[in-house]
Chains A and B, each alone.
Chain A
């Protein structure tokens, strides 16, 4: 079977997002960009499934600007077999909405026929947590979100989901869309030889129009502002002072 893994290029998780002075968004000029950490986990899982002999091919897809090529090269170096870049904008500040992303991925899925699509559960920039669910709806496939364990069987995939109350296990019929959570695995680093090899792996470049998809924006961003900031408070001298403060704020 084939596995499709969408990967997003986002502001590196170690870099603090800075709001642009004019309130038009986050400053993404000259900052470190990386693969969305959740997508790395999804890709790692796909590679492990393939290593166990349960998949033949892994296709990484990235949607956004031309520079997403770098993200796809990383995906190829980690272990994806080929990559598809969908150039949907020429402005890094233009975030393609999950709904459009889902439409694009659905079109690719219909062409490629994967049995499994593994997505990160959310992108750490827009924090929407929506693409996998929308994609699954568009394809009318089974949906398993927030996976912390994935076991691929013959006709279905058994997924343990991290939910608010604890853990839930479900069987999702293949083809399935699964979104992954942080505890699923720890992604590998690409080795130098694999980075070299990745340069020769196929990377196809297309446009949304090639897939018959229109890029829309349903949510107009009117303003981006800094959150209310907290001031650093008092460093107390001893435990008794702290006990006092705790008692004052517990409300009796």
Chain B
């Protein structure tokens, strides 16, 4: 068994939480090597080297990897990847983009969204928007695993791995990067925040969403949204929580004006404590909430913000 973790690095910036939690999941099986491929690797590789249980950090520095485009990423790494029996990546938009492509190239199934590593060939993963948990056993020679990072804690930064440069001989004639429109924010990251305040269609408009953001800032929380809120233009796409958005499991999740559709619950029902504010006492969100308040959000949320 030889384990490789694909670190998520966006333009030189390590997605530390995602990568560390993926290392944590992979560590269930033993020591790991981490692949650090980006246009700038020095900061990222230093941070990865400190992650506990990492033996080697393989550094592949080239502008080709700045945006982690699937073709160049998977093609170039074939040689390196081929010497491993297990390849883990976070189940983020990065991991979901590259890992199945590697699977296609190796003729190996990908095991997506793994919530529990049971043994070297057996894994648990949610299906049907989390309405069922499947245990699957892989017969493939290589296991390709994307990790549902919200199920794992980050590893401590007590390690001291070796950093090794490796060679790259790739190009990407197939896709060309044009531009990024990334959201920047001083708030904590949605997928790693301890507290998340989310708004739904009930919030009514982009302007009104400031009520949600106000409470979030008071609590030092990340802001989330339902699909309906994102589709209606109240909130940007990267705030969406759910089956097709982000999966979060904070200590506290506050759902405001969200009905609680199964697709939304899929992204937040592993939160430690769920609080729901909704004016409809029949709203399904109350069936999963630890604490509910039946009230108009426009009245309740500003008052809560004042009092907490």
> Is the beta-carbon distance between A163 and B93 smaller than 8 angstroms?
yes
B83 within 8 A of A: no
Whole-angstrom distance between the alpha carbons of A47 and B108 in the complex? 33
**Of all chain B residues, which has the CB nearest A145?**
B97
For the complex, would chain B's binding face be called helix, strand, loop or mixed by DSSP majority? mixed
Among A133, A166, A173, A223, which residue has its beta carbon within 8 angstroms of that of B175? A173
Closest-CB distance, B7 to chain A (whole angstroms): 14
Among A102, A128, A239, which residue has its beta carbon within 8 angstroms of that of B112? A128
Among A143, A165, A240, which residue has its beta carbon within 8 angstroms of that of B307? A240
Knowing A133-B70, A166-B236 touch, does A19 contact B96 (C-beta < 8 A)? no
Whole-angstrom distance between the alpha carbons of A67 and B96 in the complex? 30
> Which B residues are CB-close (under 8 A) to A156?
176
> Is the beta-carbon distance between A173 and B100 smaller than 8 angstroms?
no
- Chain B: residues with Cβ within 8 Å of the partner, total of 94
Among B139, B254, B275, which residue has its beta carbon within 8 angstroms of that of A220? B139
**Of all chain B residues, which has the CB nearest A222?**
B135
> Is the beta-carbon distance between B274 and A230 smaller than 8 angstroms?
yes
> Is the beta-carbon distance between A165 and B132 smaller than 8 angstroms?
no
> Which B residues are CB-close (under 8 A) to A144?
175
> Is the beta-carbon distance between B104 and A134 smaller than 8 angstroms?
yes
Closest-CB distance, A192 to chain B (whole angstroms): 28
Within 8 A of B (CB), among A139-176: 141-146, 148, 156, 158, 161-173
The proximity string for A residues 213-252 relative to B, scoring 1 for CB distances below 8 Å and 0 otherwise, is 0000011111111110010111110111011011101110
> Which B residues are CB-close (under 8 A) to A34?
none
Please choose the segment from B29-37, B41-49, B160-168, B285-293 that sits at the chain A interface, where 4 or more of its residues have CB less than 8 A away.
B285-293
Among A128, A142, A223, A245, which residue has its beta carbon within 8 angstroms of that of B275? A245
The proximity string for B residues 285-303 relative to A, scoring 1 for CB distances below 8 Å and 0 otherwise, is 0111111111100001001
Whole-angstrom distance between the alpha carbons of A56 and B73 in the complex? 34
> Is the beta-carbon distance between B132 and A99 smaller than 8 angstroms?
no
> Is the beta-carbon distance between B105 and A137 smaller than 8 angstroms?
yes
Whole-angstrom distance between the alpha carbons of A148 and B128 in the complex? 23
> Is the beta-carbon distance between A227 and B132 smaller than 8 angstroms?
yes
> Is the beta-carbon distance between A125 and B128 smaller than 8 angstroms?
yes
A85 within 8 A of B: no
Among B127, B175, B195, B275, which residue has its beta carbon within 8 angstroms of that of A170? B175
> Which B residues are CB-close (under 8 A) to A132?
100
Please choose the segment from B19-27, B56-64, B199-207, B243-251 that sits at the chain A interface, where 4 or more of its residues have CB less than 8 A away.
B243-251
> Is the beta-carbon distance between B231 and A183 smaller than 8 angstroms?
yes
Among A11, A219, A232, A245, which residue has its beta carbon within 8 angstroms of that of B138? A219
> Is the beta-carbon distance between A129 and B269 smaller than 8 angstroms?
no
A124 within 8 A of B: yes
**Of all chain A residues, which has the CB nearest B269?**
A230
Whole-angstrom distance between the alpha carbons of A221 and B132 in the complex? 12
> Is the beta-carbon distance between B132 and A122 smaller than 8 angstroms?
no
Within 8 A of B (CB), among A25-55: 26
Among A124, A165, A239, which residue has its beta carbon within 8 angstroms of that of B129? A124
Whole-angstrom distance between the alpha carbons of A173 and B126 in the complex? 34
Closest-CB distance, A215 to chain B (whole angstroms): 13
**Of all chain B residues, which has the CB nearest A127?**
B127
Whole-angstrom distance between the alpha carbons of A230 and B243 in the complex? 18
Binding site for A on B (CB under 8 A): 10, 67, 69-71, 74, 92-94, 96-105, 107-113, 122, 126-140, 173-183, 191, 194-195, 219-220, 227, 230-231, 236-238, 243-244, 246, 251-252, 254, 262-263, 269, 272-275, 277, 281, 286-295, 300, 303-304, 307-308
22 A-B pairs in the complex with CB atoms less than 8 angstroms apart:
A99-B107, A127-B128, A132-B100, A134-B101, A134-B103, A137-B102, A137-B104, A144-B175, A167-B181, A168-B181, A170-B69, A171-B176, A173-B174, A182-B231, A183-B237, A220-B137, A227-B130, A235-B281, A246-B219, A246-B275, A249-B252, A250-B220
Binding site for B on A (CB under 8 A): 11, 13, 16-17, 19, 26, 97-99, 102, 121-122, 124-138, 141-146, 148, 156, 158, 161-173, 181-183, 218-227, 230, 232-236, 238-240, 242-243, 245-247, 249-251
User: Apart from A99-B103, A134-B101, what 5 extra A-B contacts exist at CB < 8 Å?
Assistant: A124-B128, A136-B101, A166-B183, A172-B175, A239-B307
